[in-house]
């Protein structure tokens, strides 16, 4: 099942689902791709930067990722989708917690963007 954005409203009003989806896109971008690394053509978000804080950083970014799962649930995500999303978060937390290797992994693995795709939401829209 794919999450629909409610963009086809005939009244012109934004549906609650469309507002949630826009918010989820903004969070995923902030966490995964809000900053460009000059000269490399690579985008990273705040997730790997906050993750550099031992212990606390990975916990904080995991809470934000769990919020995306919660919103996906409210939007009607299936159990399978929720399980896959939680799996991405678990991978991000477990590997991201390993000193040095985990920090490098955090720059490459974009769990929040992957989780939007699981929901059928294009993270690059809007």
What tens digit of pLDDT does each residue of 84-111 get?
999 999 999 999 888 888 888 988 999 9
User: Does residue 124 form part of some domain?
Assistant: no
Give me 48's structure tokens. Answer: 């790997």
User: Does residue 1 form part of some domain?
Assistant: no
- Determine the structural domain holding residue 102 and report its residue range: 16-118
User: Does residue 11 form part of some domain?
Assistant: no
User: Does residue 92 form part of some domain?
Assistant: yes
User: Does residue 125 form part of some domain?
Assistant: no
pLDDT number for residue 37: 87
User: Does residue 9 form part of some domain?
Assistant: no
DSSP symbols for 16-66: HHHHHHHHHHHHHHHHHTSEEETTTTEEE-HHHHHTTSTTHHHHHHHHHHH
Domain count, the chain: 1
User: Does residue 114 form part of some domain?
Assistant: yes
User: Does residue 91 form part of some domain?
Assistant: yes
Mean per-residue pLDDT for 48-52? 88
pLDDT number for residue 14: 65
């Amino acid at each position: 099942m794919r999450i629909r954005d409610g963009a086809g409203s005939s009244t012109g009003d934004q549906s609650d689902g469309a507002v949630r989806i826009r918010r989820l896109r903004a969070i995923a971008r902030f966490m995964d791709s809000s900053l460009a690394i000059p000269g490399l053509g690579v985008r990273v978000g705040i997730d790997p930067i906050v993750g550099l804080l031992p212990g606390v950083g990975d916990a904080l970014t995991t809470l934000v990722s769990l919020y995306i799962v919660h919103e996906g649930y409210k939007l009607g995500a299936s159990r399978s989708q929720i399980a896959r999303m939680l799996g991405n978060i678990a991978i991000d937390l477990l590997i991201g917690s390993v000193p040095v290797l985990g920090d490098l992994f955090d720059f490459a693995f974009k769990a929040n963007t992957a989780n939007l795709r699981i929901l059928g939401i294009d993270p690059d829209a809007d």
